[in-house]
Amino acid sequence: MTPQAAQQPAPAATASKAAAARKPRLALMGEFSAGKSTLTNLLVGRQPLPTKVTATRLPPVWISHGDEGACLVGPDGSESPVALADLAEAPLETTALIRLTLPAEPLELCDLIDMPGISDPNMPASVWQNLLPEVDSVIWCTHATQAWRQSEAAAWEEISARLDAPSTLLVTHFDKLRTPRDRDRVLRRVHKEAGDGFNAVFPLSLSQALAAGEDMDAWKNSGADGFIEYLVDLLLNWSEPHRPRPHQQPAAATPALQPDQMLRAEVLDIGGLRDAAAQSQSQSQSQSQAQPQPRGTAAPADATSGLHVVPRRVSAPSRRSRRPETPSAGD
């Protein structure tokens, strides 16, 4: 080995250092129509991605923070601008992925990669497999009514071997399970068959989370409260090694949504969370320095190690026309 070669860092070490220097990249994966694009829309607080079954034949969509815009990236790396309204028309034959930028606060903490469904017969597996080397962690969506099928288990066995960071399993469409017995049965089976392969498992009704509005009880009952709190904490402490698994409880039973209920996205106050965490850490350090410990007494543990992050939600600006107000009797 030449001296010059000896001085060159190993490829794996270089990749590890590069990953540590950038934001985490979370891939949203699962079978076709498992709720991945709906989850993306919930996390970014708007609806840039089509969610109808007939309109989800998209290549991977890589979403980063920035001014609103999109482009199609070809197999040769060429980029072509495209309007957000035209994303569903992206030609698979000439598009390796879609790069999308949005001014959403959650994207200040991570990039999201919305992957195609692994079981889509019209989508070759190579479309999403080629992007796996860029992925740090996965949020896997499995449909509650047919949770953790053999095809998912087989795919995850291959995918998980290529990941270093902890991944998360979401049991989506959880409101489709009508009885407490069915919900308990499905969660027990999923934990038994897949729990060891994920850092956390959460039941979640995306439609109820989107429809919750300012109703915090509905937000919690949808399962979104526990999942979002866990995700924000994970991202704020991404560099912390050997993170423990969170304590999890099944989502409470909730009534089915009525067809006339309007869905509207929520935005997470990520900036407020980050500022609160930083302020809490600063105050803790100041108090620790200002109060000397008696000799022979152990210093207190860092208060931020058990920081309980509670996300606040604010309504996203609606893109729909406002419903006309009903005139009052005095008008």
Interval 254-302: pLDDT, tens: 444 333 333 333 345 555 555 555 565 556 555 555 555 443 333 333 3
List the single range of 7-21, 35-49, 144-158, 260-274 with lowest mean pLDDT: 260-274
- Residue at 180 is within a domain: yes
Q: Does residue 195 carry a pLDDT above 70?
A: yes
More confident residue, 286 or 5: 286
The pLDDT value recorded for residue 224 is 96
Q: What is the CATH number of the domain that holds 273?
A: 3.40.50.300
3-class DSSP state of 132 = helix
Percent of the chain clearing pLDDT 70 (strictly above): 64
- Residue at 299 is within a domain: no
Residue-range definition of the domain harbouring residue 40: 22-277
- Residue at 198 is within a domain: yes
Q: Quick check: 103 and 51 in contact, CB under 8 A?
A: no
Q: What is the DSSP string of 197-221?
A: GSSEEEE--HHHHHH-TT-HHHHHH
- Residue at 291 is within a domain: no
- Residue 255 has a CB neighbour count (10 Å cut-off) of 9
The pLDDT value recorded for residue 3 is 41
Q: Quick check: 263 and 197 in contact, CB under 8 A?
A: no
How sure is the predictor about 222, in pLDDT bands with cuts at 50, 70 and 90? very high
Please tell me the distance from the alpha carbon of residue 184 to that of residue 205, in angstroms, as a whole number. 15
Please tell me the distance from the alpha carbon of residue 64 to that of residue 109, in angstroms, as a whole number. 10
Which range of 114-118, 223-227, 265-269 scores highest in mean pLDDT? It is 223-227
The predicted-structure confidence for 44-89, as pLDDT tens digits, reads as follows: 887 767 655 444 578 999 999 999 999 999 999 999 999 988 888 8
More confident residue, 128 or 6: 128
The residue-averaged pLDDT of 141-153 equals 96
Ramachandran sector of residue 129 (left: φ over 0; alpha: ψ -120 to 50; beta: rest): alpha
The residue-averaged pLDDT of 119-133 equals 86
Give the total number of structural domains in the chain: 1
0.75 cut: is pTM over it? Answer: no
Q: Does residue 327 carry a pLDDT above 50?
A: no
- Residue at 310 is within a domain: no
Q: What are phi and psi of 21, to 5 degrees?
A: -90, -5
- Residue at 330 is within a domain: no
More confident residue, 311 or 190: 190
- Residue at 16 is within a domain: no
Q: Which helix (H) or strand (E) holds 127?
A: helix 126-129
The residue-averaged pLDDT of 112-134 equals 88
Q: Does residue 149 carry a pLDDT above 90?
A: yes
The pLDDT value recorded for residue 87 is 87
- Residue at 316 is within a domain: no
